Structure 1
Amino acid sequence: MGLIVNPVAGRDIRRLTGGASVSSNYAKRRTATCALEGLTVTDDIEVLVMPDNAGLADRIVAGAPDDLVVNLLDMTVTATGEDARTAAERFAAEADAVVVLGGDGTNRDVAHGIGDVPVVSISTGTNNVVPTPIDGTVAGVAAGVVATGAVPADEATVRHGSVEGLVDDGTGVRRIRGLATLGILDRQFVGTRAILDPGDIIGGVVSRASPTEIGLPGIAGGFAVHRPDDPGGVGFRLETKGEREERDENRNRERKVRAVTVPGVVSTVSVEEHRVLADGEAFEFDVSSGVISADGERELEVRDAAVRLRPVADGPRLVRIERVVERAASEGYFGVE
């Protein structure tokens, strides 16, 4: 088993400016300890924990259940998202399943290198779409069941989609990847990274859409529901202030969508264009000056660029936690003689 815990997840500026949840390192350690306890329902499990510069992994190892073999993964710590990517690449070759504690950004970093290894994702971030808010003990039980093959991985997981961006500014083509979303923002600089003002959103492409979700998936979910394992995605473009002022009142009303754009914030946005996209089908933007966001965080500044965003079917295999545990129980996995 691999265990990846991001010590900085759930601590960005949105916890101060909106209704976003806060996840302290103490809370993360408790959740990780619960996940390790859940693994004890399974025999012959060895756990490797991604190290970090906050000492969180050291405390998790020290507080692990006595009947579980838990050690630190031997790797160099950079205190950046590169750590999760490095750990994921190692676990792709060595682990039967991985438990991830973090937010959408952490899961995106893990998705870069985890391959086909099943991922049990527990929400400890600020503005989560992908990871599941679930008890760590139950998540640990599910991880052990999948890792041992008690429930086959192909029956226990769903393949989450992702989004790829190609940026051509005349000097070459740059690529950027998102797990749930890539967005185009009317911003000059990356800055604090978090998207705080929904008025900055020009548009984007999402691999999942639902009115129950926050940010770009919530906006897209106002006009199209798209499940995480559905093929393709949804692309949309919002209207600028000038375009909204030019239209008559009735037409304006028909094009408006209410969505939870930031934790604690419900916004009304005007939609210029939207459509469901097949895998690999591009949704294009001409950006004179702006920023591309990935999974709710501003990532890449662009100038005078043609941007093509497209859904792709190569995301991580996420474990259906409740379904796996219920399946194992129905087959007598938890019975004691």
Structure 2
Amino acid sequence: MREAAGPTVGIVANPLAGKDVRRLTSGATPVSDAVKIGAIRRAVVGAFEGGAERVLISGDRARLGDRALVGLHRSGPVEVTEPHGWHTGRDSQLAAARFCELGVGAVIALGGDGTQRDVAKGWRNVPLVPLAVGTNNVFPQQLEATVVGFAAGAVASGLGAAAEVTSQAKIIDITLESSGDSDVALVDVCLVRGAFVGARAVWESASVSEIVAAIAEPASVGLSAIAAAVAPLGRYEAGGVHVRLGCASRNAQRSRHIRAAVMPGSYSDIDIEHCEHVGFDQPVTLRGPGVLTLDGEREIVLGRGEPAEVTVRPNGPQVIDVSAAVAAAQRRRYRFVPAVADG
């Protein structure tokens, strides 16, 4: 594929988003391919309206991009990239990395927290509109795809100057001291009891022993909602929150009992033993045995006593403020239109 010619918007659509086991164990409705295809179609229309001259859509085994383009009138060239064939989050990671190499000006990622994390793994400071179509949607936004596409097109074309309409998100770096391997998360890292990854999604809060959250907003659903109940922290506030869960029967004097929405349609009883604010670049050591979940999905098995260093940093994706980008583009596009007189 040639380097992007002219202002280009990239679209990453995860066919697996919104279909994990949490949808089966809660009151949430699975997100169908038809919903994602419709969002892609509307985002393409909006991207060209916002000033993009080209749109790239990540290919996947479900052929969401190809299906979205059937019968769609386009104002410019749209290309679906070759799928990488993993049929996992690695596809989104590799698509984002390729978009970076091609000089794409803005990326729309359709999915939940896990999809946004995969995109950030491929392109750490990606200019991003995270569009929520997953199960846990703490990091992405619930927005209409038409205006999301417009905002991305405006940033790619310069009508909405990136410096004016983006904010840099936090990111959590995870380093395994024994091997030197590393990974990232955008919302939270949790230590879960057990020794197997199994079903990657976590839906049972009783298995969680520690949480490090970069976002702990009270209106969230997911494991970060536990941290938000005792130490709320906004997505653009400095640092993170470290929470240790306890057992009320063992630590009656130290534990604090709460209830939190750990997945859609479900509240859980939780005992908090300790919580504290941690600053940027202040590492927290989580120690096995257990499994580390990154943004709600089991990823890394820790042996007994094996440490992992978890650090919240300020240099994550450049998140596009959709309203600000649309407003900036309209100001520049219509600056010669006379103001409408009152009365």
Give the TM-score, by structure 2 length.
Answer: 0.89
Q: 1:112/1:56 Cα in 2 relative to 1: closer, same or farther (>3 Å)? A: same
| 2:172 is the counterpart of 1:163 | yes
Matched, 1:144 2:145: no
Displacement of 1:87: 1.2
CA contact under 8 A between 1:162 and 1:181: conserved in structure 2?
Answer: no
Contact 2:292 2:298 in 1 (8 A): yes
Residues 50 and 329 of structure 2 are in contact (CA less than 8 Å); yes or no, is this contact kept in structure 1?
A: no
Partner of residue 126, structure 1: 135
Q: What amino acid is the match of 2:240?
A: G
Are positions 1:38 and 2:46 aligned together?
yes
Distance 2:52 2:147 in 1: 18
After superposition, residues 64-213 of structure 1 pair within 5 angstroms as 64-74=72-82, 76-93=84-101, 94-168=103-177, 171-213=178-220
Per the alignment, do residues 6 and 247 of structure 1 end up closer, same or farther by CA in structure 2, a change over 3 Å counting? closer
Q: Retained in 2: the 8 A contact 1:92–1:116?
A: no
What residue in structure 1 maps to residue 269 of structure 2?
Answer: 268
Aligned residue for 1:110, secondary structure, equals helix
Q: Are the equivalent residues in 2 in contact too, given 1:214–1:263 (CA < 8 A)?
A: yes
Aligned: 1:256 with 2:257: yes
1:16-65: CA deviations, max 9, x gaps? Answer: 10123421111100011011121232345201111111121211233432
Judged with a 3 Å threshold, the aligned counterparts in structure 2 of structure 1 residues 328 and 175 are, in CA distance, closer, same or farther, namely same
SS of the equivalent of 1:100 reads strand
Give 1:126 shift: 1.1
Shift of 1:295: 0.4
User: What is the letter of the counterpart of residue 200 of structure 1?
Assistant: S
Higher mean C-alpha displacement, 193-202 vs 174-183: 174-183
Letter in 1 for 2:28: A
Q: What residue is the counterpart of 2:27 in the other structure?
A: 19
State the Cα distance separating 1:333 from its structure 2 match: 4.3
1:310 to 2:311 alignment: yes
SS in structure 1 of the partner of residue 203 of structure 2: coil
**Superposition TM-score, scaled by structure 1 size:** 0.90
Name the aligned partner's letter for residue 325 of structure 1: V
| Structure-2 change in CA distance of 1:123 and 1:146 (3 Å) | same
Equivalent-residue separation in structure 2 for 1:261 and 1:44 (angstroms): 39
Mapping 1:205-224, distance limit 5 Å: 205-224=212-231
> Contact conserved, 2:242 with 2:275, CA < 8 A, in 1?
yes
- Cα shift at 1:192: 0.9
Sequence identity percentage = 32
CA contact (8 A) 2:125 2:315 kept: no
User: Paired residue for 1:245?
Assistant: 249
* Alpha-carbon shift at residue 74 of structure 1 (Å): 4.4
Preserved contact between residue 211 and residue 259 of structure 1 (Cα < 8 Å): no
Cα RMSD, aligned residues only: 2.1
CA-CA distance at 1:105 after TM superposition: 1.0
What are the superposed Cα offsets for residues 189-238 of structure 1, whole Å, 9 maximum, x if unpaired?
A: 11111111110110121111111112222111112222222222111111
1:91-138 alpha-carbon deviations (Å, 9 max, x no partner): 113201111111111111110122444111111111111111111111
SS state at 2:49 partner: coil
Provide structure 1 residue ranges, at least 5 long, that are not aligned to the other structure: none
Query: Residue 267 of structure 1 aligns to which amino acid in structure 2?
Result: S
Note closer, same or farther for the CA distance 1:202–1:63 as it changes in structure 2 (3 Å cut): farther
Distance 1:286 1:3 in 2: 37
Distance, in Å, in 1 between the alignment partners of 2:212 and 2:150 is: 34
Q: Structure 2 vs 1, CA of residues 86 and 286 (structure 1 numbering), >3 Å: closer, same or farther?
A: closer
The count of residues paired between Structure 1 and Structure 2 equals 328
Task: Report if the CA contact (8 A) 2:169-2:316 is conserved.
Answer: yes
Q: In structure 2, what residue type is equivalent to 1:317?
A: Q
Mapped partners of 2:294, 2:28: distance in 1: 18
Consecutive unaligned residues of structure 2, counting only runs of 5 or more, are: 1-8, 339-343
Report the CA distance shift for 1:190/1:117 in structure 2 as closer, same or farther (over 3 A).
Answer: closer
SS at match of 1:40: helix
Q: Secondary structure at the match of 1:191?
A: coil
CA drift at 1:157? 1.1
Pairing of 1:268-287 with structure 2 (within 5 A): 268-287=269-288
Paired residue type of 1:309: V
SS in structure 1 at match of 2:87: coil
In the other structure, the counterpart of 2:6 is none
Partner letter of residue 171 of structure 2?
A: S
Closer, same or farther: CA 213–77 of 1 in aligned 2, 3 Å? same
Name the amino acid aligned to 2:310: L
